[in-house]
Amino acid sequence: MATPGKPKRIGILTAGGDCPGINAAIRGVGKTAILEYGMEVIGISSGFLGLINQEYVQLDENQLSGILTLGGTILGTSRENPFKKSAAFNSIDKPKLIKKHYEEMGLDALVCIGGNGTQRTASLLAEEGLNIIGIPKTIDNDVWGTDVTFGFDSALWIAVEAIDRLHTTANSHKRIMVIEVMGHHAGWLALYSGMAGGGDVILMPEIEYDIDVVAKYLKKRAVNKKPYSIVVIAEGISCPKGQKPGHYIAQEINNRTGLETRETILGYIQRGGSPSPMDRVLATRYGAYAVELIAEGRFGMMVSSRNDSIMAVPLKEVGGKLRTVPLDHTLIEKANRMGVCFGNCKV
Ligand code: F6P
């Protein structure tokens, strides 16, 4: 059982899809907890699965060294949702089991690093009486309650480098290049990489597109002697069932314009590798602040960034809500003025 009074032993887990910066956050939590507050830090394996199966290790300061720049998560991750029935655990009451194991492990608090799904689970576990702190991460940048999640900046760099490379090959062959970036529900990555990479067309889940508008726009560019075009799309845009968005859009453009079109699907490359300097700093700040909240006994909160200040928002308010790109976002407005096509523009 956890001891009353000051938190002495804290757990940390990473859940959902991985992203660059998770290890920097683990390090931020761990080093602050051990060095500043003299706490013990327990690393739980594979997200909530590790709490169900009681798979964990104690992390000492040495194990937290040398991981700042490392991609992925040293703890492993899974998409296990303890509040969802699953065949693997049949009739087991997973939240009850997690609570039991949390107590048996002698945890005074649990830090949950993850995206929307994880923050929702974290909020429900807080309601069950566990002392929870959430840390938002995802390359999609779509966690409600924070201006930014770590992982996004790193993925942005990767996407932009890919788009930069597409420009030269597109120009050589006078082709249209469609590039599909991640983002199931939110178009942050498509919008930012599209703008940073000089995309001519940007399609994102938030803006309904008309493929005829896109085709007309690209044809006009060709008529105006633009040798090539770059089309950046989010994986979450609407497209016929069973079709892959990147492939579908490339095919439709080719059919409608007669212009040679190729597609690139960037995929998991966006989630791998070393975090960008900005993500290292953000993840470190989130991690360190999470421990401050624990030390102050402010549980049931998610660490967040607002106007570059690190603060806390109640997990209850976050509750897995999505932060999509607002249609009046200043970047969309600027892009519109510069002639970027979002598939809904008049040509
Ligand atoms: O982490 C978010 C995300 O990268 C989405 O953009 C993507 O669709 C999803 O994860 C895919 O993850 P997985 O295949 O690991 O479930």
Is the model's pLDDT at 1 over the cut of 90?
no
Q: Annotated catalytic sites, by residue?
A: 140
DSSP state of 271: G
Q: d(Cα 300, Cα 312) in Å, to the nearest integer?
A: 10
Short-list 235, 120, 147, CA closest to 189: 235
Q: d(Cα 50, Cα 45) in Å, to the nearest integer?
A: 5
Which residues have a Cβ under 8 Å from the Cβ of 258 and sit 6 or more positions away?
none
Which residues have a Cβ under 8 Å from the Cβ of 311 and sit 6 or more positions away?
303, 304, 305
* pLDDT of the residue at 347: 46
Ligand 1: which of 139, 265, 323 to mutate, judged by most atoms within 8 Å of the beta carbon? 139
Cβ of 94 less than 6 Å from ligand 1: no
Short-list 167, 274, 281, 187, CA closest to 230: 167
Q: Which residue has the higher pLDDT, 3 or 24?
A: 24
Cβ of 139 less than 6 Å from ligand 1: yes
* pLDDT of the residue at 6: 85
Short-list 288, 310, 290, CA closest to 300: 290
Ligand 1 centroid, distance to 184 Cα (angstroms): 8
Nearest protein Cα to ligand 1, atom 1? 17
Q: d(Cα 121, Cα 45) in Å, to the nearest integer?
A: 16
- For the CA of 115, the nearest atom of ligand 1: 1
Is the model's pLDDT at 168 over the cut of 70?
yes
Q: d(Cα 124, Cα 94) in Å, to the nearest integer?
A: 12
* pLDDT of the residue at 86: 85
Cβ of 140 less than 6 Å from ligand 1: yes
CATH number of 155-271: 3.40.50.460
Q: Which CATH number fits domain 9-150+275-318: 3.40.50.300, 3.40.50.450, 3.40.50.2300, 3.20.20.70?
A: 3.40.50.450
Ligand 1 centroid, distance to 18 Cα (angstroms): 8
Cβ of 184 less than 6 Å from ligand 1: yes
Q: d(Cα 91, Cα 89) in Å, to the nearest integer?
A: 6
Is the model's pLDDT at 3 over the cut of 60?
no
Provide the residue ranges of all domains of the chain, joining segments of one domain with +. Answer: 9-150+275-318, 155-271
* pLDDT of the residue at 121: 97
Is the model's pLDDT at 137 over the cut of 70?
yes
Q: What is the mean pLDDT of the chain?
A: 96
Supply 282's token pair: 């953000």
Q: Are 16 and 6 in contact (CB under 8 A)?
A: no
Is the model's pLDDT at 208 over the cut of 90?
yes
The pLDDT tens digits for 261-318 are 999 999 999 999 999 999 999 999 999 999 999 999 999 999 999 999 999 999 999 9
Average pLDDT, integer, range 14-26 = 98
Average pLDDT, integer, range 43-57 = 98
| Percent of the chain's residues with pLDDT above 70 | 98
Cβ of 17 less than 6 Å from ligand 1: yes
- For the CA of 189, the nearest atom of ligand 1: 6
Same-fold call for 9-150+275-318 versus 155-271: yes
Cβ of 207 less than 6 Å from ligand 1: no
